[in-house]
Amino acid sequence: MNSTELDESQEVSQKSAASRFRRLADAPQEFVLVFALLVLGTIFWQGSPYFGTVLNIRNLLMSVAVLGLMAVPGTFLLISGNFDLTVASTAALSAVTVAMVATEHGAFLGILAALGLGLAVGAVNGFLSMYCGIASIIVTLGTMQVVRGVALMVSGGMSHRMDREIDFITDRVFGVPIQIVLFLVVFGLGVFVSRYTRFGRSIFAIGSNPAAARLAGIREKPSLFVMFCFSGVLAALGGLVIASQLNAANPNTATGLELQVVAAVLLGGASLKGGRGTIHGTLLGLLILGVLQNGLTLLSISAFWRVIATGTVLIIAVGLDQVRLRVSGTG
């Protein structure tokens, strides 16, 4: 074989390898996530007889539901090319607020105040990001600290117990815990909006090509402002659920939860560059994180290692996103 034929053979081989990588990148990521979920489930099932019990599965779904309330709007924001890193701090402020207000003025006013503060945080994030031109990751990184500081300040840095004022949030509907029902409602609405509404399509258009979206008449700033507001309200709702579960509120509640939200959304197939992602993909990402944390707990793995595992999943999710972008030629 002469040098020309050898070069041609190598070129064909390289093209064939690139083609295989592209087919792998274009393959439905949900299949890979389902496979990973089954593998993790099998490992933990073998490692702990308690893993597959009804009680543990219910607890697993309840923890996933709280995270999912924040991850659904987080998916829309990441699809649009934006971030909301305040969700954990907003949940903490919400929990502290409902504990302090409900004990003095009743559950209704407590819940209203908590959700109102969540809306206010989302509105501030949306205004600074959309109308002041500051990158959302910078805005929410700053407001994350501000909101956490406010929670610490108003609570005096102390936990506040409640006399079961909002216990109804952890009640059941036909035997299903309310927080799971709430998540299923939010999840269903998220799927419907993303697939079948003009608003959902506009979010994808903004993330894919903001300039083209504006030329097409899509109102980018108002749409994303509304999405930030929804993110704030649902983060506050997550804080209410946490406070109800613990029957107390701590200003350090949900610390680090924002990174779990980002990890789940990225793991579910969303891209840091925007324009791609699905709500059901986020659900699979949530389940993988939930199973991982739950399984490690059952195996008596140290909490320090569980934190390391979450960080590792985040790095893997970002790495996979970069691989997909490069293979598809858009990175």
How confident is the model over 265-302, as pLDDT tens digits? Answer: 988 888 888 888 899 999 999 999 999 999 999 988 88
- What CA–CA distance (Å, rounded) separates 117 from 297? 33
Inform me whether the pLDDT recorded for 13 exceeds 60: no
Inform me whether the pLDDT recorded for 12 exceeds 70: no
Backbone Cα Rg of the chain: 22
pLDDT for position 22:
47
- Asked if the structure places residue 21 within a domain, the reply is no
Q: Do 232 and 39 touch, CB atoms closer than 8 A? A: no
- Asked if the structure places residue 294 within a domain, the reply is yes
- Asked if the structure places residue 83 within a domain, the reply is yes
- Asked if the structure places residue 24 within a domain, the reply is no
- Asked if the structure places residue 1 within a domain, the reply is no
- What CA–CA distance (Å, rounded) separates 283 from 291? 12
Q: Do 259 and 89 touch, CB atoms closer than 8 A? A: no
Would you say the C-alpha torsion 280, 177, 226, 251 has a positive or negative sign? negative
Angle between helices 54-79 and 198-208 (to 10 degrees): 60
Average pLDDT, the chain: 85
- What CA–CA distance (Å, rounded) separates 320 from 323? 5
Domain that holds residue 154: 31-41+48-324
> How many other CB atoms are found less than 10 A from the CB of residue 323?
14
- Asked if the structure places residue 220 within a domain, the reply is yes
- Percent of the chain clearing pLDDT 90 (strictly above): 45
Inform me whether the pLDDT recorded for 173 exceeds 80: no
Q: How confident is the model at residue 222 (pLDDT cuts 50, 70, 90)?
A: very high
- Asked if the structure places residue 182 within a domain, the reply is yes
The segment with the largest mean pLDDT, out of 9-13, 56-60, 252-256, is: 56-60
pLDDT for position 82:
94
Count how many domains the chain has: 1
Q: How confident is the model at residue 166 (pLDDT cuts 50, 70, 90)?
A: low
Q: How confident is the model at residue 237 (pLDDT cuts 50, 70, 90)?
A: very high
pTM: 0.85
DSSP state of 97: H
- Asked if the structure places residue 54 within a domain, the reply is yes
Domain containing 205 — which CATH number? 1.10.3470
Inform me whether the pLDDT recorded for 313 exceeds 60: yes
